[in-house]
Chains A and B, each alone.
Chain A
Amino acid sequence: MEAPPVTMMPVTGGTINMMEYLLQGSVLDQSLESLLHRLRGLCDNMEPETFLDHEMVFLLKGQQASPFVLRARRSIDKSGMPWHLRYLGQPEIGDKNRHALVRNCVDIATSDNLTDFLVEMGFRMDHEFVAKGHVFRKGIMKIMVYKIFRILMPGNTDNIEPLSLSYLVELNVVAPAGQDVVSDDMRNFAEQLKPLVHLEKIDPKRLM
């Protein structure tokens, strides 16, 4: 019996441009439980999932004014997971009616020598942090409620302190470009979380 032939052409990376649609908000520590309770009710039925991730942000400086930013993320509590390398483009300047922040994104799963490889490419680590929280799903929407921790000594993720007395709430969807109906669905979902949390389109440039 002959095994099926291996494909002759290796499958090369998709050229479909994926976009990330994002809404963000925050809740104070004392309101966390009521938000989680509502999310458990609204979202897809699944085992409650928590995460503890370590993210490092790398920059590659060239002659261009703005350096190239890449984010390397790994799970601290789950073993055997690949590292996650992420590129995020500039937010699209769309019409004011678009409800979510839209930016190009490329997500790549990699082996665990990612940081050594990025340094070899010429990237240097700009900053790092630990994110600890909960993740929920509703269809293709992902909702994360997490706290950011500052790392006191570089490379030591056991010695951390919270950055604030609140939790960051993010609603995001990764979908192929051109699917603006996604942001309408996100806005409708965000309505259901009011007044516990107000999720909005926050342009990172305006904060700087």
Chain B
Amino acid sequence: MGVTCVTQVPVAEGKSVQQTVEMLTRKLELLGAEKQGTFCVDCETYHTAASTMSNQGQTGKLMYVMHNSEYPLSCFALFENGPCLIADTYFDTLMVKLKGFFQNAKANKIESRGTRYQYCDFLVKVGTVTMGPSARGISVEVEYCPCVIANDCWNLLMEFMQSFMGNHTPGVPSVFGTKHDSIYSPADTVVQYMELFNKIRKQQQVPVAGIR
């Protein structure tokens, strides 16, 4: 996977989530990007059950289990500021077996779904982030496919994002900071989505709820 930046775009003043998504996708299409199917990134939250906590004397931890449609046969399991495990999809079956120790906070399930666009060497995914039935925000993922070293192509990524995101172009993602010259991996993208989802969960709900 090429170096990827995942960021949140705020809902435009006076518009709904869906209208803002349409504004972004229209800009992309005007640039010349081609639609290439859809994508989905979802995140489930597990917390350690009370029974395990009392034995180990530690505070409960949150574990996130995520899927990315770009890697349909994989499952990503991670702790905030902790390791990110990449496993195959049988990991979900294992979590079912572990339900006495890790409880699935079903209400916290959050996902981003939308369209994939290709523009030359860039892959752009604009998604509506939903939690349950309500739309909570917009995620934009931009990947520069030919490069796998984060610091080598950040400037190019930023310039491309400015062409359709304008003022909403983000700064350097925090995962790039620790990368130095090591190869970018799909786990880094998933960590960025986890950070974005956590930020969105804390934000106030978008006043115009619901997806049309």
Contact = CB atoms under 8 A, between A and B. Distances in A.
A126 interface: no
Interface stretch (B82-90, B140-148, B156-164, B166-174): B82-90
B87 A110 contact: yes
B73 interface: yes
B90 A60 contact: no
A121 B51 contact: no
A13 B79 contact: no
A13 B90 contact: yes
A51 to B, nearest CB: 20
Nearest to B63: A121
A12 B79 CA distance: 20
B8 interface: no
B39 A63 contact: no
Nearest to B93: A13
B69 A7 contact: yes
Interface size class of B (residues with CB under 8 A): 35 or more
Nearest to A60: B101
B136 interface: no
Contacts of B88: 13, 108-110
B55 A12 contact: no
B83 A120 contact: yes
B98 A68 contact: yes
B94 A60 contact: no
Given A3-B36, A11-B72, A62-B55, A117 B90 contact: no
A10 interface: yes
Given A6-B69, A117-B77, A62 B87 contact: no
Given A62-B51, A64-B100, A114-B85, A8 B40 contact: yes
Nearest to B68: A10
A85 interface: yes
Interface of A is mostly: loop
A86 to B, nearest CB: 10
A111 B187 CA distance: 10
A2 interface: yes
A12 B82 contact: no
Given A62-B49, A111-B86, A114-B85, A3 B37 contact: yes
B201 interface: no
B52 interface: yes
A68 B101 contact: yes
A15 interface: yes
Interface string B16-36: 000000000000000000101
Nearest to B56: A122
A12 B83 contact: no
B188 interface: no
Interface of B: 34, 36-40, 42, 48-49, 51-52, 54-56, 58, 61, 63, 67-70, 72-73, 75, 77, 79, 82-94, 97-98, 100-102, 113, 116, 118, 187
29 contacts: A2-B36, A3-B118, A5-B36, A5-B37, A5-B116, A6-B70, A6-B72, A6-B116, A7-B72, A8-B38, A8-B39, A8-B69, A9-B69, A10-B40, A13-B92, A14-B93, A15-B93, A60-B52, A61-B52, A62-B100, A63-B51, A68-B97, A106-B94, A108-B87, A108-B90, A110-B86, A120-B79, A122-B48, A122-B56
